[in-house]
Structure 1
Amino acid sequence: MPMNLTHLRAFHHVATYGSFVAASTAAGVSQPTLSEQVRLLEQRHGVLLLQRAGRSVELTALGRKLFTVTAKLFGAELEAEAVLAKARHVMLGELRFGTDAPINAVGLLAAFRGRNPGVGIQLVSGNSADIRKRVLAGTVDVGIIADETPHPELTTRILGTQDLVAFVRHDHEMADAKTIRLRDLISQPLVIREIGSVTRRSIEQALTVARLQPTEILETDSREAVHAAVIAGLGVGVVAEDEFNDDPRLVLLDFADPIPPITEYLVYRTENQLSHVVEAVLGCVGG
């Protein structure tokens, strides 16, 4: 019985993205069309490959075995595409890039655009936990995060490190100081990112090691909001050094206490390392 590659590709997309909604977006087809293609694959071979649960799906035991095969099959397709693209000395398509801080991505993306002007770039931002989930789900091709947690489906590559810094409004009582101690944070409202941010995790770990507990935490959903809150006089902000906004209303303070720096990583799905866009990004690291 001849294999219908369109139906097989539909299954692979759903298995990769974990839902028909995300898979249909990635595949560029409607959700009903994708659902019908998977249904026809199962019907034609008399098997059950996916367990539907609302908008999400889970692979059956047979589905997991087939996904191992399709990952190799379509991975080889990506490798062939990369070979042909190199032969033409041109690359087209789109790079979906996620980052926990846009400032950390601009140099790499500038190098990528200079070498690959025909590739569109879609930039998505969020905290490290969010970008990591997007990479795993396949909704972004490559991400920059500060989360080194190992995962069997991910490959990470160190990009660099940066220190944590604090900052206050120019008329704050500590504005004339050049440094700040961790103990100074417990007497002031602490303005930091939401749970899932590595910046928050790092400063909370440092405070825990020092056996300190902040009296008040003002949680924001972006680094821009951290800066806005400090400008409004709502407390002391903490960010990674490269994320500090050089605003005349703000004064940067280095930590006098030893705090481990944040390491930024480039992360991508291991199975996509032969993708022409991922390979091109890797070729720009350090370039």
Structure 2
Amino acid sequence: MRQNVGDLVAFLAVARSGSFTRAAKHLGVSQPALSQTVRELEARLGLRLLNRTTRSVSTTEAGERLLQTIAPHFDGIEAGLADLTDMRDKPAGRVRLTVGDQPAESIILPAIAKLLPDYPDLSVEINLNAGFVDIVAERFDAGVRLGETVAKDMVAIPIGPDMRMAVVGSTDYFSTRKPPATPHDLAEHSCINLRYTANSGWAVWDFEKNGRPLNVRVEGQLLVNSIALARLGARDGAGLAYLPADYVEPLVASGVLISVLQDWCEPFPGYYLYYSSRRQPSAAFRLVADALRYRA
């Protein structure tokens, strides 16, 4: 019976993550051992539960039926264990968050660093990822996204004020180039392209003026996958960068960078902490969420 439970836990992890590698990392076992466990479960049932390719793993019809049958039970067990920790004097346990670089640095870390000393049995895992992550499949308690991109079936908590983007370049860059007057003028400039993940496209520069949106695809010699690199590239004169205004404000205030097209960069909803509406938050997660909540 215990072996059956362990096999089901293994299958559930693979089915939800769509990857033996990610599931093995989550369970703390080797990928070959996990593959063997799932194969033995399939052999005992006499059914193929997973379709395996070199690129992905997906459930078969039988596997999907098994997933829908057992997942609520294991989720209920996890919730029950979390309820027991709620009976402690102070919340305990691990809270897993997936966050982009900028909100991690400016919002998450300062709040968590202030919170942790008062709760010695609480731990917070911050996983940096600028792409869109399936927090349910990857077993994260919550993620952080801009308000406009949070799915409607998620619970969303504001953790920062409204934001603006900024187009910035160095004084050296503008010493030989005329600043753009409209986003259309960016075609005459070398712009730093940003791609958040290996599988995503290059980021579009979104502008708006008097309620009129304008999306621009830019060109340039420097292409990066990090906003930190984009900021450094702009500082060093490699081109114009399109970044959160508060992220570049110190360099703008000091005169290292010059901000242009400000009248085309209108405010929009800032960062939100989001989590599945189907999951009962633990006391530890509620504590973290309250510490991160933005209060104007």
Superposition TM-score tier, normalisation by shorter sequence: 0.7 to 0.9
Partner of residue 226, structure 2: 222
Alpha-carbon separation, structure 1, partners of 2:120 and 2:208: 43
Tell me if 1:113 matches 2:116.
yes
For residues 116-155 of structure 1, the aligned pairs below 5 Å read 116-127=119-130, 130=131, 132-133=132-133, 135-138=135-138, 140-146=140-146, 148=149, 150=151, 155=155
Pick closer, same or farther for the CA change 1:2–1:188 going to 2, 3 Å. Answer: closer
Deviation at 1:15, TM superposition (A): 1.2
Task: Give the Cα separation in 2 of the matches to 1:194 and 1:183.
Answer: 21
TM-align CA RMSD: 3.7
Name the residue aligned to 1:284: 291
SS at match of 1:256: helix
Say if 2:64 is the partner of 1:64. yes
- Is this contact kept in 1: 2:190–2:220, CA < 8 A? yes
Distance 1:169 1:16 in 2: 46
Aligned residue for 2:47, secondary structure, equals coil
TM-superposed CA distance for 1:163, in Å, is: 0.6
| Alignment partner, residue 187 of structure 1 | 188
Change (3 A) 1:281 1:105: same
Structure-to-structure mapping, 1:44-59, within 5 angstroms? 44-54=44-54, 56-59=56-59
Whether the aligned pair in 1 keeps the contact of 2:96 and 2:124 (CA below 8 Å) is yes
Matches of 2:49 and 2:203, distance apart in 1: 41
In the alignment, the residues of structure 1 paired with residue 84 and residue 41 of structure 2 have an alpha-carbon distance, to the nearest angstrom, of: 30
Go from structure 1 to structure 2 and tell me whether the alpha carbon gap of 1:91 and 1:198 turns closer, same or farther (over 3 Å shift). farther
- Shift in CA distance, 14/280, structure 1 to aligned 2, threshold 3 Å: farther
The share of aligned pairs that are identical, in percent, is: 22
In 2, Cα distance between equivalents of 1:12 and 1:112: 33
User: Normalising to structure 1: TM-score of the pair?
Assistant: 0.78
Residues 223, 243 of structure 1: 8 Å contact kept: no
Per-residue deviation, 1:47: 2.8
State the Cα deviation string for residues 70-101 of structure 1 (Å, max 9, x = none).
Answer: 22112111211221111123444433322122
Task: Confirm or deny: 8 A CA contact 1:187 1:214 kept in the other structure.
Answer: no
Shift in CA distance, 258/17, structure 1 to aligned 2, threshold 3 Å? closer
SS at match of 1:29: coil
- Which deviations, in whole Å up to 9, do the C-alpha atoms of 1:109-129 show, x marking residues without a partner? 3455355433333322232xx
CA contact (8 A) 1:164 1:262 kept: no
Is the Cα–Cα contact under 8 Å of residues 20 and 34 in structure 2 kept in the other structure? Answer: yes
Structure 1 contact 97–121 (Cα < 8 Å) conserved: yes
Q: Is the 8 A contact 1:165 1:252 kept in 2?
A: yes
Corresponding residue of 2:23: 23
Kept in 1: contact 2:173–2:239 (CA 8 A): no
Structure-2 separation of matches of 1:35 and 1:104? 39
The answer (yes or no) to whether the contact 1:148–1:156 under 8 Å persists in 2 is no
Displacement of 1:246 in angstroms is: 1.7
The C-alpha deviation readout for 1:230-283, integer Å capped at 9, x for no partner, is 122122222112322623423445611253525323233445443555444333
Asked if structure 2 preserves the Cα contact closer than 8 Å seen for 1:166 and 1:239, the reply is yes
The alignment's TM-score, normalised by the length of structure 2, stands at 0.76
Q: Cα deviations across residues 181-222 of structure 1 (Å, max 9, x unaligned)? A: 434534322224226689933x24659944866564743211
CA 1:51–1:83 in 2, change beyond 3 Å: closer, same or farther? same
Matches within 5 A, 1:203-222: 203-204=205-206, 206=208, 209-210=213-214, 214=218, 216=220, 218-222=222-226
Q: Which runs of 5+ in 1 are unaligned?
A: none
Aligned residues: 281
Please report how far the alpha carbon of residue 159 of structure 1 lies from its aligned counterpart in structure 2 after TM superposition: 3.6
Q: Distance in 1 between matches of 2:215 and 2:98?
A: 35
Give the C-alpha shift of residue 28 in structure 1. 1.3
